[in-house]
Amino acid sequence: MSTSSTPPAPPPSNRISGTAISKEIRAELAVECSSIKSTVTPGLAVILVGSRPDSLAYVRMKKKACAEVGIDSFGYDYPETVTQQELIDKVNELNADPKVHGILVQLPLPNHIVENLVTSAVHPDKDVDGLHPLNCAKLVTAQTHGGSVKMNWKDLKSIPFHIACTPQGCIELLDRSGVEIEGKRAVVIGRSNLVGMPVSLLLNHRNATITIVHSRTIDAQSVVRTADIVIAAVGRAKMVKSDWLKEGAVVIDVGINSVDAPDTKKGYRLVGDVDFDECEGKCEKITPVPGGVGPMTIAMLLRNTVNSAKRVCGI
Amino acid sequence: MSTSSTPPAPPPSNRISGTAISKEIRAELAVECSSIKSTVTPGLAVILVGSRPDSLAYVRMKKKACAEVGIDSFGYDYPETVTQQELIDKVNELNADPKVHGILVQLPLPNHIVENLVTSAVHPDKDVDGLHPLNCAKLVTAQTHGGSVKMNWKDLKSIPFHIACTPQGCIELLDRSGVEIEGKRAVVIGRSNLVGMPVSLLLNHRNATITIVHSRTIDAQSVVRTADIVIAAVGRAKMVKSDWLKEGAVVIDVGINSVDAPDTKKGYRLVGDVDFDECEGKCEKITPVPGGVGPMTIAMLLRNTVNSAKRVCGI
């Protein structure tokens, strides 16, 4: 028997790294942008209202990410006092601008503006956030304007309409981590228009059997325990505990919650909807927060923008 | 001890009669039409292509039902050879016609016509079948054009858009039978655009916890067995057996399947997706086929048409 000092290989990590996967996707998009450069440079218009620090940070990150992959970004910044009509006029101008393939209205907008009147003004073809009712409807019916089409849901890049970025990112994380979706039981916690509902519809199209859990669900815990795949998108810090999970579940944590942390410099820490430390050992795979779903949202925005440019050019 | 011959009272039936409930609704609509007569007579345009016996029968029933409650119906019959553009032109003409508050395109259309290009041409306000993508999107997001609104889902009559008739009929059957939806576990079998998906979304809005079962679900039976409310909408004769059900489940059977019955004059019999004879004893309530969901579809079409007329007149 050897007492060799070669250390044992570290156990394979069960963490799904959104940071690494999104980097991979951005590198692919950079190659793609470079290969279509002679025909088109994808362009993203970003409308920002006011000066919320989180909105400023998101917009800065999005523009930086655009630059890195080779997408032109065009910023339109407005004061808090802008009128709804001014924003809609700008959207209409951008709808007609051939340099712009995607239009992003950074949310939230101030209270005097009806958000979905502005986001619905974006032409569905340029709606890279996937918020327009027509893009939303296609997610239910899987129909394109040209008729009922059997979508290739396996390859989201081929879908001829825009799917909201965060839900699309969740599916991409599963796919790129080798998680089979078809035939699985998936439980989605949360039923928001931005994440819970669309990710449920996507999982259904990919032939998972979905259950949607929400605030009025009685004994949510026992429902979640039936799931092979759990998507937590409810916005409550560490709500999902290890006894909510089936042994070997795959967990995608969409939540980003700020909790007090006097021991840190910032005084707070970001945590997910899942109690990561408690659950990690029980999961087949799990996304951390931060570094899980978060980085995927921007990567999917970039992909939607590149797809939009390619479609316009018939590539 | 008396040996009196008074027979024991029959056990209270657990059947939900769509025939009786739809009659009740039609009577209410007749009163409503009569009360608004001095302002408006609701009008339904019915487009029929070809001469399929089932389509002819449905159109005949719909027109007859209109007449009974006081809705004007206008029929437009086309030969099998009509072009897609002719139909779309007619739809556009009807969109502009103030006497018409609802437009119904009887499906299926012949193969050379892309159905959803015709149904999507119907103005959403006149889309009493609830098939337009914008009406479908509202069912997901619960948003009206004017902003995010807390819908009164408890009263479908108050919803400011059109909900597809069969799914709406399922909910109405539950409501009028005193079945509480909120907090219940509901399993929908089938994920069609016409029934399974919209009825799932409606149940979710009414705060049920929904699961959608489909052809790729593994062990559908054990999933269905978790349900307080089962909606079967899959189109397979007698698929759901009594051992699929939890004791005391409520079952709404949307299926209408024709099975051979040499002992009958017609040679066939209509049965649901649920094995009624086997399941009836185990259910708290159950709809028969025929006489369950079927009659509700027309009643909801009438209601959508009356609602549409009232909205136009601001009533």
Closest alpha carbon to B130 in B105, B110, B148: B105
In DSSP terms, which residues pair with B271 in a beta bridge?
B257
A62 is catalytic: yes
Which domain CATH number covers A83?
Answer: 3.40.50.10860
Closest alpha carbon to A106 in A68, A157, A56, A150: A56
Q: In this complex, which of A146, A182, A223 lies closest to B114 when CB atoms are compared? A: A146
Instruction: Assess contact for B230 and B187: CB atoms under 8 A.
Output: yes
For A271, which DSSP code?
E
| C-alpha to C-alpha distance for B62 and B71, rounded to whole angstroms | 10
Tokens of A174: 């599963």
| C-alpha to C-alpha distance for B271 and B288, rounded to whole angstroms | 9
For B280, which DSSP code?
G
Answer yes or no: do A118 and A227 share one domain. no
Handedness of CA A252, A275, B212, B180 (dihedral sign): negative
User: Using the beta-carbon criterion (under 8 Å), do A217 and B115 form an inter-chain contact?
Assistant: no
Instruction: Assess contact for A179 and A285: CB atoms under 8 A.
Output: yes
ipTM of the complex: 0.91
Question: How many other C-beta atoms are found inside a 10 Å radius of the C-beta of residue B10?
Answer: 6
Residue A113, in any domain of the structure:
yes
Residue A311, in any domain of the structure:
no
β-strand pairing of B147-148 with B185-189? unpaired
Q: If you measure CA to CA, which chain A residue comes closest to B115?
A: A147
Answer yes or no: do B189 and B228 share one domain. yes
Closest alpha carbon to A206 in A300, A160, A142, A252: A142
More confident of the two residues B236 and A151: B236
For B283, which DSSP code?
-
Question: How many other C-beta atoms are found inside a 10 Å radius of the C-beta of residue A276?
Answer: 20
| C-alpha to C-alpha distance for A206 and A216, rounded to whole angstroms | 26
| C-alpha to C-alpha distance for A208 and A226, rounded to whole angstroms | 13
User: Using the beta-carbon criterion (under 8 Å), do B140 and A223 form an inter-chain contact?
Assistant: no
| C-alpha to C-alpha distance for A254 and A83, rounded to whole angstroms | 32
A219 is catalytic: no
Rounded to a whole number of angstroms, the distance from the CA of B114 to the nearest CA of chain A is 6
User: Using the beta-carbon criterion (under 8 Å), do B136 and A140 form an inter-chain contact?
Assistant: yes
Tokens of A162: 């825009």
β-strand pairing of B72-78 with B43-49? parallel
User: Within 13 Å and on the Cβ side, how many CA atoms surround A178?
Assistant: 4
Amino acid letter, residue B260: D
Percent of chain B with pLDDT over 90: 84
Alpha carbon B170 to chain centroid distance?
6
- Can you list the pairs that A121-124 forms with residues at least 24 positions away whose Cβ atoms lie under 8 Å? A121/A87, A121/A88, A121/A91, A121/A92, A121/A95, A122/A91, A122/A95, A123/A95, A124/A161, A124/A162
| C-alpha to C-alpha distance for A210 and A187, rounded to whole angstroms | 6
Instruction: Assess contact for B207 and A216: CB atoms under 8 A.
Output: yes
The residue of B191, B207, B228 whose CB has the most chain A CBs within 10 angstroms, and thus the best one to mutate to test that interface, is B191
Is B147 touching A (CB cutoff 8 A)? yes
Asked if residue B87 has pLDDT above 60, the reply is yes
Alpha carbon A98 to chain centroid distance?
26
| pLDDT at residue number A244 | 98
Q: In this complex, which of A147, A211, A226 lies closest to B117 when CB atoms are compared? A: A147
Can you give the length of chain B in residues? 315
pLDDT digits (tens, 9 = 90+) for B136-193: 888 887 644 334 445 677 888 778 899 999 999 999 999 999 999 999 999 999 999 8
Q: To which residue do tokens 């009272």 refer? A: B9
Residues whose CB falls within 8 Å of the CB of residue B1, separated by 6 or more in sequence, listed in order: none
Closest alpha carbon to A181 in A157, A211, A161, A154: A154
The last residue of one of the domains, among A101, A121, A148, is A148
User: Using the beta-carbon criterion (under 8 Å), do A207 and B216 form an inter-chain contact?
Assistant: yes
Q: CA angle, B244 as apex, B184 and B209 as ends, to 5°?
A: 20
Q: If you measure CA to CA, which chain A residue comes closest to B144?
A: A116
Question: How many other C-beta atoms are found inside a 10 Å radius of the C-beta of residue A130?
Answer: 24
Rounded to a whole number of angstroms, the distance from the CA of A212 to the nearest CA of chain B is 6
| pLDDT at residue number A145 | 38
Q: To which residue do tokens 């039976």 refer? A: B221
Answer yes or no: do A190 and A286 share one domain. yes
The residue of A212, A223, A224 whose CB has the most chain B CBs within 10 angstroms, and thus the best one to mutate to test that interface, is A212
What positions of B carry a catalytic annotation? 62, 106, 129
Answer yes or no: do A91 and A124 share one domain. yes
Residue B270's alpha-carbon distances to B60, B63, B258, B276, B278, in angstroms, are 20, 23, 5, 12, 16
Answer yes or no: do B115 and B129 share one domain. yes
Q: To which residue do tokens 């910032």 refer? A: A266
| pLDDT at residue number A150 | 58
Answer yes or no: do B137 and B101 share one domain. yes
β-strand pairing of A229-232 with A185-189? parallel
Answer yes or no: do B121 and B181 share one domain. no
Residue A17, in any domain of the structure:
no
Residues whose CB falls within 8 Å of the CB of residue B296, separated by 6 or more in sequence, listed in order: B18, B21, B22, B25, B165, B166, B168, B169, B170, B172, B173
Average pLDDT of the segment spanning B249-272: 95
Residue B6, in any domain of the structure:
no
| pLDDT at residue number B157 | 78
Answer yes or no: do A44 and A129 share one domain. yes
pLDDT digits (tens, 9 = 90+) for B63-75: 999 999 999 999 9
Percent of chain A with pLDDT over 90: 85
User: Using the beta-carbon criterion (under 8 Å), do A117 and B217 form an inter-chain contact?
Assistant: no
Asked if residue A3 has pLDDT above 70, the reply is no
Rounded to a whole number of angstroms, the distance from the CA of A141 to the nearest CA of chain B is 6
User: What per-residue string of b and e applies to A222-244 under the rule 16 or more CB within 10 Å gives b?
Assistant: ebbbbbbbbbbbbbebbbbeeeb
Residue A261, in any domain of the structure:
yes
For A280, which DSSP code?
G
- Helix, strand or coil for residue A196? helix
Answer yes or no: do A169 and A287 share one domain. yes
A129 is catalytic: yes
| pLDDT at residue number A140 | 84
For B121, which DSSP code?
T
Residue B132, in any domain of the structure:
yes
Answer yes or no: do B95 and B182 share one domain. no
| pLDDT at residue number B145 | 38
User: What per-residue string of b and e applies to B128-143 under the rule 16 or more CB within 10 Å gives b?
Assistant: bbbbbbbbbbbbbbbb
Residue B16, in any domain of the structure:
no
User: Using the beta-carbon criterion (under 8 Å), do B209 and A209 form an inter-chain contact?
Assistant: no
Residues whose CB falls within 8 Å of the CB of residue B24, separated by 6 or more in sequence, listed in order: B176
Answer yes or no: do B247 and B303 share one domain. no
User: Using the beta-carbon criterion (under 8 Å), do A147 and B116 form an inter-chain contact?
Assistant: yes
| C-alpha to C-alpha distance for B168 and B299, rounded to whole angstroms | 10
Is A266 touching B (CB cutoff 8 A)? no
- Helix, strand or coil for residue A184? coil
Chain A residues with beta carbon closer than 8 angstroms to that of B146: 114, 117
- Contact residues, B window 206-225, toward A, CB-based 8 Å cutoff: 207, 209-214, 216-218, 223
Is B149 touching A (CB cutoff 8 A)? no
Phi, psi of A40 (to 5 degrees): -155, 145
How many domains does chain A contain in total?
A: 2
Residue A306, in any domain of the structure:
no
pLDDT digits (tens, 9 = 90+) for A124-181: 999 999 989 889 888 887 644 344 445 677 888 878 899 999 999 999 999 999 999 9
Answer yes or no: do A177 and A276 share one domain. yes
Rounded to a whole number of angstroms, the distance from the CA of B1 to the nearest CA of chain A is 49
pLDDT digits (tens, 9 = 90+) for A31-63: 999 999 999 999 999 999 999 999 999 999 999
For residue B67, the enclosing domain spans 40-146+155-163+296-307
pLDDT digits (tens, 9 = 90+) for A61-73: 999 999 999 999 9
Chain B residues with beta carbon closer than 8 angstroms to that of A210: 211-212
- Helix, strand or coil for residue A77? strand
Q: In this complex, which of A116, A197, A204 lies closest to B140 when CB atoms are compared? A: A197
Rounded to a whole number of angstroms, the distance from the CA of B257 to the nearest CA of chain A is 24
Chain B residues with beta carbon closer than 8 angstroms to that of A217: 183, 209
Which domain CATH number covers A203?
Answer: 3.40.50.720
Rounded to a whole number of angstroms, the distance from the CA of A186 to the nearest CA of chain B is 9
Chain B residues with beta carbon closer than 8 angstroms to that of A207: 214, 216
